[in-house]
Structure 1
């Protein structure tokens, strides 16, 4: 069967610890979210879906891309799991064979790395590919449709880590070329800006 890749950008959270939407933080003259969208827009033979929830109207007004497929997660306050679940529900309806899940707040990741992750995944027999930051495994991550039903079972604020752990024998692990930075606080954002000087 021909491969059909969906890209799912999860950006529905309320950024409670930061106190303002991290999706709209400035990075290299652009918002983190627009930077992420522009990065993945160069990937060929793929369609990008964007999950929004908290600050939906404000974020939509800031979007530069007019072609991105926006999915409204009205249950965003349940947490990350609900956003992945909502995205997979839509993607499954459209018969995609694989999904690449990314977050808007990992601006250090290069498009080169993402292309390598995709190429490594498709040249492997594994049906999951995950990014490793030393001891931490996380996004970007790719799942084959074989695991869509598992992703649809996610609840609350749990991400897909437990699925990766459960099926680790079917998981390709690729080491990130940059350190892991989670922009959950003002201090973390300032640290990110310092890295760019």
Structure 2
């Protein structure tokens, strides 16, 4: 039985602290796309979702997530991999208090609010792990119920929460909506989708 969870009980954790190593010498999150930096597309897509709070975990970028309503958390050690950013975001969300976190990547510019609402509708309780999938591979965005926070806080390395995501429930989205920009050729694919 699907219960679902209201966005008002969830905290959005936007991960924007990656080192862009596979992208080359430039910050991929600042790459221009349709008139604004790549990272602000998911920000815009989710701005009407009434989350309890919005957190952006960043490293050296000078993108101003604060002006978009996010509390900015600095990851001083982005070399710790995605798990370090996840832990910072979840620890801050737990401090505020929430029923779940919605983890989204800043380099996924085609994520939609509709898809995030579908993830929230699939939540069945506080132990839920609901991830996105293109029908083959699970990926972020993902929702983690409060009972998963302890597990998230023990993650290590760049695997992030991949094992938890693989074992969780998956909500299918079009492959293009889950495009993750890691390399310059991904940016070319993104521009070709317009």
- Judged with a 3 Å threshold, the aligned counterparts in structure 2 of structure 1 residues 45 and 188 are, in CA distance, closer, same or farther, namely closer
Per-residue deviation, 1:21 = 1.1
Per-residue deviation, 1:67 = 2.6
Give 2:23's aligned residue.
Answer: 18
- Judged with a 3 Å threshold, the aligned counterparts in structure 2 of structure 1 residues 138 and 65 are, in CA distance, closer, same or farther, namely same
Map Cα deviations across residues 138-191 of structure 1 (whole Å, 9 max, x no partner): 1010000101010001112111111234xx3xx331101333423111111111
In 2, distance between residues paired with 1:64 and 1:74? 17
In 1, distance between residues paired with 2:77 and 2:183? 23
Per-residue deviation, 1:29 = 1.1
Give 2:139's aligned residue.
Answer: 138
| TM-score under structure 1 length normalisation | 0.86
Give 1:4's aligned residue.
Answer: 9
Which 10-residue stretch deviates more, 130-139 or 176-185?
176-185
Contact 1:34/1:64 (<8 A) preserved: no
| Match for residue 110 of structure 2 among 92, 95, 108 | 108
- Judged with a 3 Å threshold, the aligned counterparts in structure 2 of structure 1 residues 177 and 6 are, in CA distance, closer, same or farther, namely same
In 1, distance between residues paired with 2:91 and 2:162? 19
Count how many residue pairs are aligned between Structure 1 and Structure 2.
Answer: 185
| Match for residue 49 of structure 1 among 52, 55, 73 | 55
| Match for residue 182 of structure 2 among 167, 181, 184 | 184
Structure 1 stretches of 4+ with a deviation exceeding 6 A read: none
Give secondary structure in 2 for the equivalent of 1:14: coil
- Judged with a 3 Å threshold, the aligned counterparts in structure 2 of structure 1 residues 64 and 27 are, in CA distance, closer, same or farther, namely farther
Which runs of 5 or more structure 1 residues have no equivalent in the other structure?
Answer: none
Give 2:3's aligned residue.
Answer: none
In 2, distance between residues paired with 1:137 and 1:108? 16
Matches within 5 A, 1:115-154: 115-121=117-123, 124-125=124-125, 127-154=128-155
Matches within 5 A, 1:64-79: 65-79=67-81
Per-residue deviation, 1:45 = 4.0
Map Cα deviations across residues 37-69 of structure 1 (whole Å, 9 max, x no partner): 12211102431100001x33x223xx4735311
Contact 1:73/1:86 (<8 A) preserved: yes
Matches within 5 A, 1:159-174: 159-165=160-166, 168=167, 171-174=168-171
Which 10-residue stretch deviates more, 80-89 or 103-112?
103-112
Which runs of 5 or more structure 2 residues have no equivalent in the other structure?
Answer: 1-5
In 2, distance between residues paired with 1:164 and 1:130? 6
Contact 1:109/1:178 (<8 A) preserved: no
| TM-score under structure 2 length normalisation | 0.87
Map Cα deviations across residues 100-126 of structure 1 (whole Å, 9 max, x no partner): 0001121222221112221232xx346
